[in-house]
């Protein structure tokens, strides 16, 4: 099974960015952590980070036919992007939404996600371990559909 991991805007700043909320782990460290989990689950994983909404939309569109599942942290676009939501709908590639922080414990504007209603499910609030859980969740979902 091939899984695409999408990291949204400002996640390239992890490690430096608001460490009280997001911790000190860098994006490279997170990708290494995901790779370990993927190996144990026998998954092939591709990684993509972008600060641009259009690039994320194009990446999702291009996943059609070559990717079995997506794990996405849409970051700030979670709360604004109808375009990313529509891209997920248009390709219909099963997608799990993940967040490092618990968005439901934070500011009101973070408590609404445009993505959740088109995702298989959402994992939020387990620090960087949310990505491991996201990978396990998409694997279990894809297996159950086979
Ligand atoms: C985030 C939560 C978002 O509200 C925020 O804009 C992010 C990161 C998280 O992983 O907790 O950039 O998606």
Average pLDDT rounded to a whole number, residues 57-69: 98
CATH assignment at residue 97: 3.40.50.9100
Cβ of 4 closer than 6 Å to ligand 1, yes or no, is no
- Split at pLDDT 50, 70, 90, the class of 146 is confident
Domain span including residue 102: 2-145
Query: How many domains does the chain divide into?
Result: 1
Pairing outcome for strands 95-99 and 44-49: unpaired
Q: Which atom of ligand 1 is nearest to the CA of 73?
A: 13
Cα–Cα distance between 98 and 128 in angstroms, integer? Answer: 9
Residue 49 reports pLDDT greater than 90 = yes
Cα–Cα distance between 62 and 65 in angstroms, integer? Answer: 8
The tens digit of pLDDT for each residue in 66-88 reads 999 999 999 999 999 999 999 99
Cα–Cα distance between 132 and 1 in angstroms, integer? Answer: 16
Cβ of 118 closer than 6 Å to ligand 1, yes or no, is no
pLDDT at 118: 98
Helix axes 27-41, 129-145, angle to 10 degrees: 30
The tens digit of pLDDT for each residue in 106-138 reads 999 999 999 999 999 999 999 999 999 999 999
Of residues 7, 77, 99, 114, which has the active-site annotation? 99
Q: Ligand 1 centroid to 22 CA: how many Å?
A: 9
């Amino acid at each position: 099974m091939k899984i695409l991991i999408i990291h949204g805007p400002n996640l390239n700043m992890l490690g430096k960015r608001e460490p009280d909320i997001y911790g000190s782990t860098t994006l490279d460290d997170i990708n290494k952590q995901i790779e370990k989990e993927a190996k144990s689950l026998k998954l092939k994983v591709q990684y993509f980070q972008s600060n641009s909404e259009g690039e994320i939309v194009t990446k999702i569109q291009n996943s059609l036919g070559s990717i079995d599942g997506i794990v996405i942290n849409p970051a700030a676009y979670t709360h604004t992007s109808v375009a990313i939501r529509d891209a997920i709908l248009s390709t219909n590639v099963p997608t799990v939404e993940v967040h490092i922080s618990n968005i439901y414990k934070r500011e009101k504007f973070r408590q609404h996600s445009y993505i959740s209603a088109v995702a298989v499910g959402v994992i939020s609030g387990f620090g960087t371990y949310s990505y491991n859980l996201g990978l396990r969740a998409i694997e279990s979902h894809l297996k159950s559909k086979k």
